[in-house]
A and B are shown apart, each in its own frame.
Chain A
Amino acid sequence: MNIMNFLKQFKLLLPVIISLFFIGWGSSWQEIKKTGKVISSVRSEFIQKKHLKILAKPLVSRGKFYFQAPKSLRWEYTSPLKSILLIHKGKVRRYTVKDKKISRDSSAQLQSMQVVLQEISLWLKGNFDANPMFKAEIRGNRKIVLTPKEAGMAKIISRIELHLSRRPGIIDKVKIYESRDSYTVIEFRKTVLNKKISGSIFRKI
């Protein structure tokens, strides 16, 4: 699998994660899908911890994200570096801010993000079991496990675990496993649903 396909498929994970905010709890996909229609926006802070065998302690990144249905997203890292991914009105842009200087990531793979948004409406309805990339299973109490269907993707990401909050519509954390020793945990906090988000959040850096 080459880097463009990989990054395209990884970025497809973002709507998976985000759209899970739209689900309430149930023990079946039918129940999950029922609550999928009521969420129009999400804002949240996150702490990302990268675990690697080479690291004595995880590498911690912090950030925040905003999502406005149907197709606007801001995924922003605030530390250890400032990086912002913006998806709005069909345009995908990524920026890094360093020493107060803004630099635009011009890598070609951003163009593949256009495809991402076409999948969001599917996931927003909670149709994870219809997701062509991942096999989805509900396991135990408030946990969904996604396993890649494609062998190439499975060599890169072995599985994704979604841990759902007791509060309906909220995700506590996402774990993305590359291997047993290499995984990323994203914990969400201060999540707010259905509060109006200004359009400038998705336009301005």
Chain B
Amino acid sequence: MVIAPLVWWACAQEPTPEPGPTPLDAPRLLRRASLDLRGVLPSTEELEQVRADPAALDGLVEGYLDDPRLEERVVAWLHERWHTRVDGFSAAWYDYGLDARDEVEFERAVGEEPLRLAAAVVVEDLPWTEVVQADWTQANTLLLEIWPLEVLDTGEGWRRARWTDARPAAGVLVSNGLWWRYPTDLFNLNRGRASAVSRLLLCQDLLAGPVRASDPLTLLEGGAEAAIREDPGCQGCHSVIEPLASALFGFHWVDEYAVEEMTRYHPEREPLGALLLGVEPAFYGEPTADLAAVGAAVAASEGFEACAVQTFAEALWRRPTGTSDADTLHTLRGQFRAGGLRVRALLRSIVSGAEYRAGVVQEGEALSRRLLSPELLQSAVEELTGFVWTAQGVELLDEDERGFRTLAGGVDGEEVLRPQSEPGLTWALALRRLAEGAGEHLARRGFEQGEGPLAGLGGARPGDAAFDAAQEELIWRLWGRAPSAEDLAEDQALWEEVQVLDGEQAAWAALVSLWLRDLDAVTR
């Protein structure tokens, strides 16, 4: 039998077992994968399945990779890196005649547009290169109303759309959401945007190096423009930045606060790049006729592929990668390439690895405990209790003008660029209030409305079969492990104490809130 070379090569690249952290047990690992890939807790049945047969875990995780809820997870991961889900842009809801109540929806729609495009590429199992080459984007009803888009798919929510303003086929490189987040002005001339392309898609941070002219007099007497063109110290970075910036002038806004300017693409301004910057568009020395050519050049670059691996590895490992990860990342990159640059294949490789499955870590960079992000906390809480913490329709763990996103450890994309990895004071406070609200809500549902897992528990006490069953079921579902004898003893003491004070409904609310704040609930 002849094995196709690609298959042979892919098989040859299977990761060899390596010493390292002790793997997490199957139920907890299933919980981790379910939250990471679907944003929800695993069902009781799924947990039971892997408890009985740990080998069943891989099959379940494989199913998670096909779950449509993976899209939301990709959006969340990429926001942590691309930082577009911010709480304000130069254009606002009132510029489009929207209602004030639409403010957050507007901001999220704008900021998510590039993220949704990328997520669609992942969920539809397209090559990752489509992110910079797609002739479509994703839009929701609000964006379809305000931007020059024609819908390509029927249905609700985010769906495929195409720009109608002659912008080239370049995926996120022609995204309004991306360039609204990374605006420019008549002085910067898209240089900041070029830097953003390099950082976000190639993981090359051109601003990490010192900004220093070799000859200050060139800078002082000729100005910054002269120094950029002539000074060797400046040319070190600007030899890359200028040509890339030159390609972005379809997004050149004469008035950077005019919504009409910001809304549509300006193909007639594309030649301004060469005129104002004095260089023709190019990508690392390769001439590019337009943004579509830039997208193709980005897609073909080594950095693009490596950056994708780094991006998704960091998203799932919940820590920055470093030199110690070189071997693992190299292996992942090989698998990514072998999988046709499909991110789902990459995700499969990552979640199969020792780093991701770490349970007990004695040395190295792997994390055994990773704090849940605010959106995962909300998701887990909502699923278990039905409680969604919103105010006037705004999800308070997803926003910072009124909400608690950064206080709960999340990323706002402007001042907080990395998720919090350790517990902190405001994290503890936000978690407490979330848990209190959720516990009360679940108890109310059970005792006042006769629904949910606490329904019918009136009169049941610790030690009763119904009480104990409900307790163990909820903990198992929430933590992915059975409660210990000490856990049960503490729970019983708390329930009885609060029951005396405020009655059994309040006692259950207290118990649930305690469980929601346990380490096994708030980490994965």
Query: Do A and B share a complex?
Result: no
